[in-house]
Amino acid sequence: MKTILCGLFSAWSAVAAAQISRPVAIIPIQTAAYHEHFTDIFSSKLNLAVLPSLADFQFGAWAEKKYLLPALQQYSIMAGAATGQSGWAISADHTGLDSFREYALQLAYGRRLGKVSLGTGLHYGAKHVAGYGNRSFWSMGIGVLWKVSSVISTGWQLNHLSGGIFSAGNKERLAYGYTAGLGVLLAPALLAEMLVTKNEAQAASVIAACHYQVKNRLQASVQLDIPEAKPSMRVKWKMNWMQLGVTAAYHAMLGFSPGLFLLVETSNEKP
């Protein structure tokens, strides 16, 4: 059964890669971007404009075994910091199996301008598909975050806003995508979020999320992709300068995807 799943995943990926390169889908580690007291370095994957609200310095590493298949492990490492009214981050990601692999590198910068924060990122990605070859591309994205009030924040991010594919044929190009989000602080320790994601030539996805903090030590997040009925969760425990956590996602047909992550930061306080 595992061999069949790997084969289906590889075949689907080869077809998609032969047409366009799409923005990466939201994964469980990417959450809580729409209130500064809940964000961490991984939140910048949802919206680059959260970078000015980071701790002084943060480093994060995450690993996931997709659908409990050793061949489909996914890894992500990130580092970033806030410096005054701005922030920066670098990241590296890897996912796939022998017949299909994806790599990504990103350099991002964000700036706070009063109640509005802006972020931009330069992205480099590469794919290897058996029987198809190697392809690499670069792109740029921008994010905007607006702190409407002390309890409401909203924003959006555009992916693959510009860029190109190296050594690509005439039929290949980058596909645009965007994410829009709204965060409402229902209580000092409870944040509700709604996200809408849309990639070119694909149906929009609506994700509802809820995040709860206990004395700035424990943070639990649950998410539900409403159209696909796909739940996911993330729980992290803070111990001084270090945070340890787990992630989990479930797909009705493909199964369970567990993950582990580590966060290290040099500041215990959010700005």
Domains in the chain with CATH codes:
23-266 (2.40.160.60)
Res 137: pLDDT: 86
User: Distance from first CA to last CA of the chain, Å, rounded?
Assistant: 49
For the segment 180-208, the average pLDDT, to the nearest whole number, is: 93
Residues 6+ apart with CB under 8 A from 107: 88, 89, 90, 121, 122
What SS3 class is residue 4?
helix
Report which listed range, 122-136, 153-167, 222-236, is most confident. Answer: 222-236
Of 55, 37, 36, 56, residue with least CA distance to 47: 36
271 has a pLDDT exceeding 60: no
Amino acid occupying residue 161:
L
99 has a pLDDT exceeding 90: no
| Local confidence band at 88 (pLDDT 50, 70, 90 cut-offs) | very high
Spatial distance between the Cα atoms of 92 and 246, rounded to a whole number of angstroms = 19
- Our CA angle for 240, 41, 183, nearest 5°, is 105
For the segment 211-240, the average pLDDT, to the nearest whole number, is: 93
8 has a pLDDT exceeding 50: no
Looking at the whole model, is its pTM more than 0.75?
yes
Of residues 95 and 4, more confidence is placed in 95
Q: Answer yes or no: are the C-beta atoms of 78 and 94 closer than 8 Å.
A: no
Q: Retrieve residue 166's tokens.
A: 């190296």
13 has a pLDDT exceeding 60: no
* Residue-wise pLDDT tens digits, 105-144: 999 999 999 999 999 999 998 888 877 778 888 899 999 9
Res 19: pLDDT: 42
| Local confidence band at 218 (pLDDT 50, 70, 90 cut-offs) | very high
Res 165: pLDDT: 74
